[in-house]
Amino acid sequence: MGLDLARTFVIENEWYWRFNENATSLTVEAAVRDFVAPLLRLLKGRVAAAETRLVDGGFELVLDEQVTPIALAAQTSDRPAINHLVGDLNRALSLTKLGLAFALVVPKRYELRGALLTEEELAALSGDAVLLVPSSRPSWKAIAIPPVS
């Protein structure tokens, strides 16, 4: 399956290395700036309202009239924290009933992109090396994500 690059955005290459080197650099501000804000730009025109509001320990994602509180996985490396963030973003997207999901993909070696996919496209990519998060890879599924307090 070829990815429609019009429904993707480039994520700073440094994040690719942070995932693989078990860095612990993800902050709420970085999550909103590098992942959520570009995703909201992709959603422009598909939802009536799309914004974030910083709150203590995380942020609220507003899509249409749905408000989803999101807190980052505390005291963990970037890989499980991003895995958790993508899951929360997809939970919020599911409430919109658009049939869309967010994923992190690697269409070319070391090129990291955020992608807005249909649920069918996401399912078709399951097990494909291009799909980084959410992943069906055993190494990613085995990540223990601490509960958000």
- Cβ pair 85, 111 in contact under 8 A: no
Average confidence (pLDDT) over 88-96: 94
CA distance 64 to 120: 23
Q: Residue 148: pLDDT band by 50, 70, 90 thresholds?
A: very low
Q: Is the pLDDT of residue 129 over 80?
A: yes
Asked if pLDDT for residue 91 goes beyond 70, the answer is yes
Computed over every residue of the chain, the mean pLDDT equals 86
pTM (predicted TM-score): 0.86
